[in-house]
Each structure stands twice: as C-alpha cells, then as structure tokens.
Amino acid sequence: MLTPRVEIDLGKIAHNTKTLIKLYASKGIEIIGVTKGVCGNPTVVDVLVKSGINILADSRLSNIKRMRDAGIQAQFLLLRTPSISKAEDVVKYTDISLNSELEIIKKLSKFALEHSIHHKIILMVDLGDLREGIMPSNLNQNINRIKELKGVEIVGLGTNLACFGGVSPDDDKMKQLSLIADEIEAQHDLNLTFISGGNSANYNWFMATKNPGKVNNLRIGESIFLGCETLNRIPIPELFTDAFTLVAEVIESKIKPSLPNGNISQDAFGKTPEFHDNGMMKRTILNLGLQDVQVDGIFPRMDVDIIGATSDHLIINSKTKELKVGRELEFDMNYSALLSAMTSEYVDKRSINFNNAQEYCEMVEHQYRKHLQLLPRVEIQENNSRLISLKESGFNLIFEPSIMKDHRYMVREDVYDKIGRISRVLDQQDKKLIIRSAWRSFDHQRLLWEDKVSAVRKEYPDKQLEEIEELVSYFIAPTMKSMHSTGGAVDALIYDLKEDCIMDFGTNDGLTMNLNDKCYPYHPYISTKAKENRKLLINIFEDEEFVVDIKEYWHFDYGNTCWALEHGENHAFYGVVEHAELF
C-alpha cells in the first residue's frame, strides 16, 4: 500500500457527526460542518451530509468547487472573509459568506446583481480575539450601509474566538453576542437566521450553560474529525479520537551514534539543532517529512521517540523495537498535522471501515447515482495505446474461463505493465493473480448481460423483466456502457498457493460470485478474513494507481472515464475500443 498515507475511518466520522448534532440540538443549536481540515474531500464530506449536516463551511473556494463538482448536496458557506479579487467566485460558488469589510460586501453586491444571484452574509463581530470582525461600536453604521445594497442580505451575526488570541468563548462572551443580536434585530428590523457563536472551542461553554441565549449555531470541524474540544484538546465523551491515522514506512534501519560527528551549524530550515549523547541507538528513518505533514503535531502509536525531521525524512529512536525496512508505523495527529497532511499532494488518502451496513450501502448507492450523472461529462483524450494479450504475457496468472471462445484477455499497454508488476508482488507471497475479465467487445458484453439476465430469471421466475434487468445492472453494465470496452478495466481475484484455493472475499465460492450488496468493497458485514483478503486485493491494485469500482471489489479501472472521475483527473486517456483490430 502507498505510503505515506492517511487512513480515514468513515464510520467513526459518521458516528461523531451524529453524536454532535444530537448533543448540540439538545439546547437548540445547529452545527455547520467545517470541511477545511479534510480539504473538502468529497468522500468524507458525503458522510457529513448523510449524517445530517445541511451546511458545509470551508475557507478555500477551491475546496468548495471540489465539493460542488462532486455533486455534494448542501449549502456552502465561505468560512474566511472574502477577498475582493475572489468576490465574483464567492457569489457564484457559495450560498453564504462570513464578512467584516464593507468594501468587500459592496463587491459581493455588484457581482450578485450581475449574475442575478441572492447572496447571504453573516456579519462577524470582534468580541476580543482580535481576528476578523467588526468592532461592536461600528456595527450599526455598517449595517445601515449594507441595507442600501442590492443582491446581498444580512442573515446572521457571528463571532470567532480562541483561534488567534486564545480568548475563551465563555458565558460572558456568548451573552454579549446574544445582547448585540437582540439590539441589531430591534434597531434594524432584522430577523437573523444565524447567531453563530463560534467553533469547536465552544464545547465547554455549551456543556456548562443552562441557557445559550440567542446562540443557535456553531461551526464545527475539529470536534467531528478528532473528537475533542479545542481549548485544552480534551476528548469529548462518546466520540472517536482516532478517525484519522497517519501511516509511514521504514526506509532505513541501522545502529548509529546519537551525536552527529563534526561541527554543528544551521540545519536545512535555518535552525541550529541540539543533541544529547545517549550512546549508540537504533536509528530508523521513515518516508515522512515536513513537506508531507507538520511533524510536531504527530504522535507515534508505538513506543518510539521522534528525534527530528527534514523535508523528506522522519528520524526516530526505535529503542528496543526491531523495525525492518518496509515496516509501517502509525501515528495520531492533532489538527494542524491533519490539515497539513490532507493538504499535501504527497500523502495518499484512503477511506476505510464502515460500522453500519445500511448507512454504508446508502452512501455507496448515493455515490453511484452521482457517478452515473458525472461520468458523461468526463473528457476523453484518447492516447491510442495498443491492446496486448495477458494470455500470451508469460506472467504468473490464472485465467477464469470466458464465455467467449479463444478469449485473449487483452488490456492497454500501461495496464499490461501494471498487471505484470502486481503478479510479481503476489509471487513473493506464494499467491497468483486470477484474471476474471479484461477488455470486452460489445458482443462479449452483450452475451454476459443476456447470460446473467437468463440466470436471474430462472432464480426469480415471478419477477418482471424490468426488475431483473435493474438487478443485473447493479453489477453488469449494459453493452455500450461497460468500462471493460476501454481496455482499462480488469476483474481480478487471488489464488493462495499455500492453501491451494481461491481466497475468500466474502461473496465468492471459488470463482462463483453471489451478487448482492456485500460485493460493495468495504461492506462491514463480511468476515474478518474476507476483509483482510479484500484489503490485499484492493491495495495491490491501488498501489498501481487503479481505482476500485464503487460496487465491485474485484473490478479495477485505470485510464478510462471511471478512473478519471474517481481519481480526480482532468481527463481520461482510454476511450471505447469496439474491436481489438482497431489497435
């Protein structure tokens, strides 16, 4: 599996989200989900929406665009005060924005009118933290000016505490905000929808207060993702604090001195390091550095000591541990580390572990529907790479018998090379890759479709043909819509030579596949062994930049439109190949 990576437990995030929604609702407070900590990652954000979040907030327009492009159904709030240079995009891509500058609001008004858009604003008031916000004494004159503008509407009042000055959002501050809101509504004939009292730092105030006053909204991110309040980083009861795991790999493991040898000057970052003489030590280097993550915010789950880091290397004292090259180590992260790791393009992001089967299946089906809507929009820039036969490759492969006579199991050239590497990885584990299917002609796809429809009709004689075809379409694409026609799709399983059998993946009896929702790649209700086997299969393909199908753990795409959509690429480079002779 690729390293360094962040493993994201979606089930734990869903649990945290629902728990916090219920908790804050007990005193009449609605929460907005802050997504900047995960850079608007659509898979994570989809869990927030599915768990009951209706408004998503981010400080980066690029993240909001990313969520919109992924089909996330929510209102979007710009968390950071807009800049004049981005005012038009703010109006185009967000529903609401936090504001504290009149000149910027004028620009929002201008572009809202030009685009015939009604843009909502929440005015931020500075209650002492000295970050963004209008001073309370200047609110009235600002509101009078804003009310003269068209295209914008004041829908709320908000404040931000504890982020810059460390000022606690206590009962006095929240009462002050409520009092200001009362005065503003009365003096300006406003009915404010949002009285937004702050962020995850408001937890202690919330738990202590008997009356939240007019505060009816909080902007929550860190508590959802890391399960803690943010004044002292104390875990919140019933929340998971380990939904995110940072994983790095050992790239060197040696016995070395604890003191450098030579004259000490500045390091790569302009600091003069200090070292203590602890004699010889087990000095281990991981493939993780300051270009990947904020190192002072990571905490090893194993009893080792972090000595220091450079751009690309993390040096640890592994103490008594024997850490061989290739060994993976896990780390917890604080918010700053999570933010940097999720921002870094050098850190892989992978979603794992769902706790509730119904919620997981609903999420998969939701993703699948969005996938079908977005797939036709993906541009194809065909690179005309040739089809090559895996049957004639000499790779150590097993081939599932095909419905087509003399089938050659053909794939595009890059896919051919990737399958060769995957085969060699499995060779080292006394396993063989089973190729179930590769490129299919339209005739081949039609025969598969008809064969499966016929089989299901025999199994369910009372079902109408439309019902049967809908059921079959969940796992076999109609003739013209299969990714297999691109030469960039491969169906695969694994044979265990030691056990002399096809591995158990949870829905298969050898090569016979029981098609149901347990075929969804990360279904929680399969055996531990089947989960481990799926993890092996999916990881070896993902390490070669394939993407696993949304509904089929055995199906992998590379280079085609499905791959481009799921991988976040600008375009696909494999289009449909109707006849192998064309290449």
- Residues of the chain with pLDDT > 90: what percent? 72
Q: How far is CA 325 from CA 220, 288, 335, in A?
A: 40, 14, 29
Per the structure block, which two tokens stand in for 334? 């604080």
pLDDT at 263 over 60: yes
Predicted pLDDT of residue 476: 66
Q: Where residue 171 falls among pLDDT bands split at 50, 70, 90?
A: very high
Range with lowest mean pLDDT among 165-179, 418-432, 524-538? 524-538
Is residue 341 within 8 A of residue 299, CB to CB? The reply is: no
pLDDT at 306 over 60: yes
Predicted pLDDT of residue 359: 75
pLDDT at 583 over 50: no
Per the structure block, which two tokens stand in for 297? 């915010």
Distance CA 410, CA 399 (A): 12
Q: What is the CA radius of gyration of the chain?
A: 28
36 is a catalytic site residue: yes
pLDDT at 480 over 60: no
Interval 152-180 mean pLDDT = 96
pLDDT at 144 over 50: yes
Catalytic residue among 12, 18, 36, 432: 36
Per the structure block, which two tokens stand in for 230? 């943010």
Question: Which residues in 198-220 are b (16+ Cβ under 10 Å) and which e?
Answer: bbbbbbbbbeebeebbbbbbbbb
> Tell me: the pLDDT tens digits for 215-261?
999 999 999 999 999 999 999 999 999 999 999 999 999 999 888 88
Question: What is the β-pairing status of strands 489-496 and 555-557?
Answer: antiparallel
Better pLDDT: 88 or 407 = 88
Is residue 143 within 8 A of residue 118, CB to CB? The reply is: no
Is residue 313 within 8 A of residue 345, CB to CB? The reply is: no
Distance CA 139, CA 154 (A): 12
Q: What is the pTM of this model?
A: 0.72
Distance CA 90, CA 109 (A): 11
Interval 52-81 mean pLDDT = 96
> Tell me: the pLDDT tens digits for 346-364?
999 988 766 678 878 887 8
Is residue 155 within 8 A of residue 146, CB to CB? The reply is: no
Interval 315-332 mean pLDDT = 89
Predicted pLDDT of residue 582: 42
Residue type, 252: E
Better pLDDT: 545 or 269 = 545
Q: What is the dihedral of CA 442, 444, 449, 452, to 10 degrees?
A: 180
* Angular region, 484: left φ>0, alpha ψ -120 to 50, beta rest: alpha
From the number of C-beta atoms within 10 Å of its C-beta (0-12, 13-18, 19+), residue 192 rates as buried
Interval 144-172 mean pLDDT = 96
Q: How far is CA 241 from CA 12, 128, 145, 224, in A?
A: 9, 30, 45, 9
Spatial CB neighbours of 351, under 8 Å, sequence gap ≥ 6: 7, 8, 10, 43, 44, 522
Residue type, 518: K
Q: How far is CA 557 from CA 284, 448, 479, 513, in A?
A: 36, 19, 17, 20
Beta strands in 409-457 (DSSP E): 410-412, 431-437
Helix (H) or strand (E) holding 373: helix 357-374
**Structural domains in the chain plus CATH codes:** 10-226 (3.20.20.10), 244-351 (2.40.30), 356-582 (3.30.1380.10)
- Residues of the chain with pLDDT > 70: what percent? 96
Distance CA 503, CA 499 (A): 9
- Other Cβ atoms less than 10 A from the Cβ of 16: the count is 26
Better pLDDT: 457 or 82 = 82
**In whole numbers, what is the pLDDT of the chain averaged over residues?**
91
Spatial CB neighbours of 58, under 8 Å, sequence gap ≥ 6: 34, 35, 36, 40, 64, 67, 76, 77, 78, 79
Predicted pLDDT of residue 481: 67
Predicted pLDDT of residue 471: 67
Predicted pLDDT of residue 540: 94
pLDDT at 324 over 60: yes
